[in-house]
Structure 1
Amino acid sequence: MSTHAHGLASPDVAAGPARPEKIKKLKRPGRWASYLLMGVLAVLAIESVATNPNFGWPVVAQYFTSPRVLEGLVNTLQLTVVAMVLGVVLGVILAVMRLSTNPALYAASGLYIWFFRGTPIFVQLLFWGFISALYPTLALGIPGTKPWFETDTNSVITPIVAAILGLALNEAAYMAEIVRAGIVSVSKGQTEAAHALGMSHMRTLRRVILPQAMRVIVPPTANNAISMLKTTSLVSVLSFPELLYATQLIYAENFQTIPLLITASIWYLIVTTLMTIGQYYTERHYNKSTRVQGISVLRRVLELQKRRGANDAASR
């Protein structure tokens, strides 16, 4: 009986370890059909663009690196950088004013944002371009007395100055809301922790709040910078030779409108692509620095609490 019992093996033991079942991939005919459709459309689009003589690709190649186009590109890049830097700096100031408990600062910031966000950028550029119609001369002095300094407005508000003022002041209104949203996104506990370490309000804002708020501020700021690059094309109304206006001057002479517009578009695409890559690495950097900053503040708070506890125990 025992031999028979020992001679019989359970089905599970005889079968050995269970083999994992192979995972069957789902068949997705709709996905492959979409691949095929997109591929066919891409080939047709490329074939149409490459073979249509009306695009004027030889003219595009001829003027792509011409001195006038490159000069317009440099002017566009310079205008973008200067307007963005001024817009960001002024936007930070306006955001701090907007979060202030001072009613005058809060109201002034809100009025500024309301006005510059409520009127089109194109209209603002036109106003700066024709500011001499409102103020023929610029004077500095005490009202009711002879001005200390007086000059013709057009000699000060040149096309480049009008372009910078129009773009930067408009950008500041949007940056103020972006920075404000970033500051508000930081936990109040971080502010309390910094104050517990003895940091002043401004130092807390500079060393703790803004570095952590950058994670929220950087993505929309980078998008605004890309948008600023393209918005500079509106400056052509002020006869400033940025990229678009440079190409307009050329096709006004040779009547090759479409090829030169394509030339400008390709340069815009190249620069925006590079800016997008820079945005990716900048976001990754601030995501890392935000975690490090938050951990360092918490560590310093814990150390301070331990020291206070040790001092209290020693005093007892």
Structure 2
Amino acid sequence: MHRRSFLKAGAALSVTATLCSAEAQDVPSHNWDNYDFGPGPRVTDRLNQGPFGIEQDEGWYTVLVTSQSSEPVKNYGLGLVGYTWEEGGPSLAARAGIETLEQHVEKIASLPFVDVLYIRCDWRDVQTSAGKLNLNPVFELTLEAAKRHNRRVAFRIQMSNTEGQPARLALPDFLQKQVPLVKIGKTYGAKANFVEPRYDHPKFQTAFKELNELLVREFDSNPLMEFVDLMMYGFWGEGHTSNLPNPFPDYLTAEKTFLDMTKLQLGLWKNVPLAVNTQPDISNVGNREVQ
């Protein structure tokens, strides 16, 4: 009798479990991976983040704000940037031999309100021959000073520079022999025509790719790096050649060239953030698309 009751109870439990399983499968667990939740709420009071067309440019203005603190407030990435090297080189005193490059870098790094030590140099200052970097001593000095003073480091490699033209171009000498150079006119009171390379030339593109690969190998894993400026068109890599024309045969060639160069840089730099100028497209080279 007990055995028969036991078997009946077991059979009933089996049927119940089957029914529960069937009911559970009616509403399976939803996989929310890659689910499109739609756009977030629209922000109505945000400042225009760009990109900006040249028709919106009312001049070369800089916006300044003050903080409520009377003491320096650390703000890496957006704080005060101290140049250990600018487009003309180090300090005027260092250029004149009154102080050494080491002394100049130390003075900048020791300023209490400086957050980032910044190098703004020419391509020729980091590479003199194909296949390897030949970094100007300012790089090692800046990195060492950053360690001592708890600073961060950033840099821009300029493919074009008004300083020193026409005798000295930003491009390394070895590359100048391989890439067509175009005279684009005079500005800033210059006596000679400024020169821009044909950025779209295959030799230029090959060298540009190699340069970025070398820079990534050297700096992308360095914990002292705060950011690297995107290498853009024109004077100082800022995306313009003032009021002068560009060296491209047409706009589409210019836009495609710098979109491709931007994608290359974004693809190579994995750790260090890339900063980009929100430069109005005064030179018609595709800044709006790059930004």
TM range (shorter): under 0.3
The structure whose Rg is larger is 1
What's the TM-score, normalizing by structure 2? Answer: 0.28
Greater strand proportion: 2
What's the TM-score, normalizing by structure 1? Answer: 0.26
Greater helix proportion: 1
